[in-house]
Structure 1
Amino acid sequence: MKKILFMLVVLIFGSGIIVAGEVPEDIVFVGDSIMDSSKQYIAPNFKNPYFDTKISRQFSTLPGIVTKLVENGKLKTTLVVHLGTNGKFTDKDFDYVMKMANGKDVFFMNTAHKDPWEQEVNKKLKEKVAQYPNAYLIDWYSYAKGKNQYFYKDRTHPNDKGQRYYADFLTNEIKKHYLEENKEEENKDTKNNDSLKNNPSNPQNNDGNSEKIIDLRNLTKDTIKNY
């Protein structure tokens, strides 16, 4: 039994996957062929994930996809998007998606490929994400660019090894986000509790030994001796 548990721990941590405590269920993943090729490695890392991926998908189709997800009750918690490999997108596309997300967390993964619109897409994603408090950027470009051992000859689509590399990276980024968010909340609660403990006006800090207020004008000699 101990041997089995040890092997399980090695498999989990050896894969580079962060085991998180409070990661949302029912995360929706929308992407093109890059995500599509790796979804079999992503799926086991989350509870009840939903994938809508398609080869050669354009970012411009995202508003329609998200509309259907909302109408069908699929978008319950978090949306993860990896599009832009096959072309640019407009402010209108992005803004519509964020409106439909209605405050839910939306992660946008940038692109790593050899086409001329790569930098334009990545720059615009960074700018648009900064405009929304519930939008987050996953920097696939910095993580994967130039690591040709993980890609086919087109330097765009991950090979078998790269698909696992992609899945581990995406999983870690999402789980790390929620782990850090939970830590921040815990630290905030601890700080608030410490502040209350150190506040002399807090009734809970009163040990019952209130100070005696003495009016010296009304004291007699015998009374003074008692003090």
Structure 2
Amino acid sequence: MKKFLFILVILVFGSGIIIAKEMFSGKVPEDIVFVGDSIMNSSKQYIGPNFKNPYFDTKISRQFSTLPGIVTKLVEDNKLKTVLVVHLGTNGKFTDKDFDYVMEMANGKDVFFMNTAHKDPWEQEVNRKLKEKVDQYPNAYLIDWYSYAKGKNEYFYKDRTHLNDKGQRYYADFLTNEIKKHYLGENNKASAPKDNSSNTQEKTIKMDKIIDLRKQ
């Protein structure tokens, strides 16, 4: 009886990441490089287990303008082997030159750019320009964090920029699913998964009823 209950709990509450890991195992590139600011930095402990041999270069208050230098170093150190995932723009705007240089250094490798969700005035300009630039390159892809997270205040601290623990977990799950859906071929430009927190609660209630019936 106890064993039965334990398995159900794992399936209900672990489906976001644990089930996804098993489903997608071995179907995405290894050695993915993740570059970001404090948003990604706070979530990397939840992202890392979902990929094989990931490499993180994240830093608090990082500007997009530092990305060309970071990517140059990654290439020189032979760390950029397969895929690059970038989440920058929270702390300021970027130039066409910055973006184009990164794509040149990527040398045909897939590059995923995650847009921003925060309260600062440059948010919309950064997101608009990211979409515009991504559309110019066949190996660049946009991950629409803005559409998924905007307005979900329960994910953020009071500054409406940095993620609390719940937000960090949803961020990691969202990012994982977007990358892995891409390599499964389900969507060329993957869309955001639904927030199933209410469904999870319903399943938990139903599970409790099942357990009660088994006791009778």
TM over 0.5: yes
Contact 2:43 2:172 in 1 (8 A): yes
Aligned partners of 1:25, 1:100: CA distance in 2, in Å? 19
Instruction: Give the corresponding residue for 2:44.
Output: 39
Give the aligned residue type for 2:15: F
Superposed CA RMSD = 2.1
Q: How does 1:121-160 map to 2 (within 5 A)?
A: 121-160=126-165
**Corresponding residue SS for 2:80:** coil
Contact 1:81 1:106 in 2 (8 A): yes
The alignment covers a number of residue pairs equal to 182
Any stretches of 5+ residues in structure 2 without a counterpart? Answer: 189-216
Deviation at 1:16, TM superposition (A): 7.7
Deviation at 1:13, TM superposition (A): 2.0
Instruction: Give the corresponding residue for 1:97.
Output: 102
Identity of aligned residues (%): 84
Aligned partners of 1:80, 1:110: CA distance in 2, in Å? 11
Instruction: Give the corresponding residue for 1:207.
Output: none
Instruction: Give the corresponding residue for 2:169.
Output: 164
Instruction: Give the corresponding residue for 1:48.
Output: 53
Instruction: Give the corresponding residue for 1:191.
Output: none
Q: 2:76 aligns with which of 71, 76, 90?
A: 71
1:82 counterpart = 2:96: no
Contact 2:68 2:102 in 1 (8 A): yes
Give the aligned residue type for 2:181: K
Q: 2:15 aligns with which of 7, 13, 16?
A: 13
Contact 1:17 1:172 in 2 (8 A): no
Aligned partners of 2:187, 2:171: CA distance in 1, in Å? 25
**Corresponding residue SS for 2:90:** coil
Aligned partners of 2:147, 2:168: CA distance in 1, in Å? 16
Instruction: Give the corresponding residue for 1:177.
Output: 182
* Rg larger for: 1
Any stretches of 5+ residues in structure 1 without a counterpart? Answer: 184-227
1:109 counterpart = 2:114: yes
TM-score in terms of structure 2 length: 0.79
Summarize deviations over 1:132-177 as a string: whole Å, max 9, x none.
Answer: 0000000000000010011000000010111001100000100111
Deviation at 1:14, TM superposition (A): 4.6
Aligned partners of 2:157, 2:88: CA distance in 1, in Å? 19
The structure-2 alpha-carbon separation of the partners of 1:14 and 1:105, relative to structure 1 and needing over 3 Å to count, comes to closer
